């Protein structure tokens, strides 16, 4: 049976994005949590004056193959997957000297960013993380006992959780993190699958995997009684998904639909152009030498709708 409160004794940290890492390390260390870490993460923690155990020392096996194999070891995954409520699991862990790991912090190699930057094929391949997703999935599966963090934005929530529960995490908190962890690895694999399909020149791959990040919860859907949210993929092309709202209240589905229609239409022109849209239909379109004149012309096309 799952235990609600778990007081962590050991955390494994292995991150590419080191934002907030030292602060998190200090917060965990000050609460008596042993820090185990890899490569550059361990170096950053040690340089900040924190006591950290290198994963190679922890497992007794060196990092190898240019860092491709670091945490793929029974002492890591046994510590993550071993059930604390099963005597048989505990006996096997004791036999093989596998201590439990209570927290995993991993935010994965920057594969999406590498692709977005237009890096060469080999660079993209090397930025496909293997050990990170494996650890994340192991920790998330055993969320009855293990908390898994996959984004720097979660660090503050973990610290607040430990403060609120006297150095422990709750099952509800760990379960929420586990769901977010599987969503992250799913999106990561979707990005890899999509990129590989593109590399093969497949417009319509047999399995199409799409992952989106929620940009905002909308005021309502297509109709006022409906709920809706706006999700964006990792593409950085100019458009509504990458735009920043400057002012005004929360948007609805129709607001976004109209904005997208106007933006995509005005993008067809290479002169100053204005498009006025009502209910996703252009009611005024004009080009001119200046935007002011283009606006006057577009407005004149249907001033009532505008």
Q: Is 129 exposed, middle or buried (0-12, 13-18, 19+ CB in 10 A)?
A: buried
Residues in the chain: 306
Tokens of residue 90, six digits: 């505990």
Token pair 């606006």: residue: 295
Residues taking part in catalysis? 141, 279
- Domains in the chain (CATH in brackets) are 10-199 (3.40.50.1380)
pLDDT band at 39 (very low <50, low <70, confident <90, very high): confident
What SS3 class is residue 36? Answer: strand
DSSP-derived secondary structure letter, 240: G
User: pLDDT tens, 272-282?
Assistant: 999 999 888 89
User: pLDDT tens, 166-199?
Assistant: 999 999 999 999 999 999 999 999 989 988 988 8
What SS3 class is residue 35? Answer: strand
pLDDT the model gives residue 2: 65
Tokens of residue 246, six digits: 């400057």
Region of 286 please: left (phi>0), alpha (psi -120 to 50) or beta. beta
Rounded to the nearest integer, the mean pLDDT of the chain is 90
Segment 40-59 shows an average pLDDT of 89
Predicted model pTM? 0.78
Cα 61 to Cα 74, 93, 157, distances in angstroms: 11, 18, 33
What SS3 class is residue 279? Answer: coil
> What is the C-alpha separation between 210 and 201, in angstroms, rounded?
17
What SS3 class is residue 39? Answer: helix
Share of the chain above pLDDT 90, in %: 54
> What is the C-alpha separation between 22 and 266, in angstroms, rounded?
47
Answer positive or negative: Cα dihedral of 201, 123, 235, 271.
negative
Tokens of residue 206, six digits: 């047999």
User: pLDDT tens, 234-262?
Assistant: 777 888 888 888 998 888 899 999 999 99
Rg from Cα positions in the chain? 25
């Amino acid at each position: 049976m799952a235990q609600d409160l778990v007081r962590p004794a050991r955390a494994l940290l292995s991150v590419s994005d080191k934002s907030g890492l030292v602060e998190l390390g200090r917060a965990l260390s000050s609460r008596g949590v042993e820090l185990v870490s890899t490569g550059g993460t361990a170096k950053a923690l040690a340089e900040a004056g924190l006591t950290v155990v290198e994963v190679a020392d922890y497992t007794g096996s060196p990092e190898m193959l240019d860092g491709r194999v670091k945490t793929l070891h029974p002492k890591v995954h046994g510590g993550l997957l071993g059930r604390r409520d099963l005597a048989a699991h505990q006996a096997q862990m004791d036999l093989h000297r596998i201590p439990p790991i209570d927290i995993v912090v991993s935010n994965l190699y920057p594969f999406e960013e590498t692709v977005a930057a237009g890096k060469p094929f080999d660079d993209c391949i090397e930025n496909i993380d293997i050990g990170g997703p494996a650890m994340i999935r192991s920790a998330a599966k055993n969320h009855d006992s293990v908390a898994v963090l996959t984004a720097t934005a979660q660090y503050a929530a973990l610290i607040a959780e430990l403060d609120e529960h006297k150095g422990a995490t709750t099952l509800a908190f760990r379960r929420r993190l586990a769901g977010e962890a599987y969503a992250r690895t799913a999106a990561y694999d979707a990005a890899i699958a999509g990129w590989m399909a593109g590399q093969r020149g497949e417009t319509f791959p047999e399995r199409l995997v799409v992952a989106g990040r929620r940009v905002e919860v909308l005021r309502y859907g297509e109709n006022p009684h409906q709920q809706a949210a706006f999700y964006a993929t990792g593409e950085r092309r100019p458009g509504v998904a990458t735009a920043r709202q400057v002012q005004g209240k929360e948007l609805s589905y129709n607001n976004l639909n109209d904005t997208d229609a106007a933006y995509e239409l005005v993008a067809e022109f290479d002169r100053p152009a204005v498009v006025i849209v009502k209910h996703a239909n252009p009611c005024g379109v004009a080009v001119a030498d200046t935007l002011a004149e283009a606006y006057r012309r577009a407005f004149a096309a249907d001033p009532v709708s505008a």
